[in-house]
Amino acid sequence: MILYPAIDLKGGKCVRLSKGDFNKEKVYSEDPAAIAISFAEAGAEYIHVVDLDAALLGHGVNEVFVREIVKASGLPVQTGGGIRTLADIERKLGMGVSRVIIGTKAVENPDFVYSAVKEFGTKRIVVGIDAKEGRVAVNGWEKVSALQAVDLALRMRDCGVNTIVYTDINRDGMLTGPNVEATAKLGRSTGMDIIASGGMSSIDDLLALKEAGVPGAIIGKAIYENKIDLKEALEKTR
């Protein structure tokens, strides 16, 4: 199982939101690069970075900080937020990012994802599916569509995507535990690699996901609130 410690960027700061609410943010650091270095020192294999401003506004607001995270950590980085064009993807990859996460655009235009996979390869493109009660949310989680998460995942599989970041919005930033059942079911239903996101509160949560066959998990607030020791979690889940 791969653990992805998370850095959510807003105004150049490392923050966490509760249930994706932009009015409920908590700042944990004004030096995202230093946070990335601490993740590398703990033994992380990958870092998950989200440009929250870009997710809402549709363009890369915090790119300079993403670049610093890549350089400072020396680790592979997957990043999302505001990815709307092939040029956006190309620019992110040119900054040294390893994988780009497509969210809203995957819902609005599945053909865009197909083009991205064709242009950059399966290993470079990940689709983020953020859901409330099984329905897909878009535009920084401000809007909830009628589309079911599993249907979008299957559509993305047809576009050549292998990896999905699945976020249960109702659990994100709440430290209430991940939705193990829904995450594992999505993997079984699609045969895709699912990275769980939202609600991690303890190492037991991570072990439950691993036991359920989920190959990856993103940890954010639980690290910053000292609920999960990243080094210990990495050792126990490998």
Per residue in 128-162, pLDDT (tens digit) is 998 988 889 876 566 788 899 999 999 999 999 99
Residue 134: Cβ within 10 Å count: 14
The three-class DSSP label of residue 175 is: coil
Token pair of 205 as six digits: 């949560």
The three-class DSSP label of residue 56 is: helix
Per residue in 213-237, pLDDT (tens digit) is 999 999 999 999 999 999 999 999 9
Does residue 1 surpass a pLDDT of 90? yes
Contact between residue 211 and residue 183 where contact means Cβ atoms under 8 Å apart: no
Structural domain for 183, as ranges: 2-237
Residue 219: Cβ within 10 Å count: 27
Task: Give the pTM.
Answer: 0.93
Give how many domains the chain has, as a whole number: 1
Give me the CATH number covering residue 232.
3.20.20.70
User: Could you give the CA distance from residue 37 to residue 69 in angstroms, rounded to a whole number?
Assistant: 8
Amino acid at 88: D
Active site residues: 8, 130
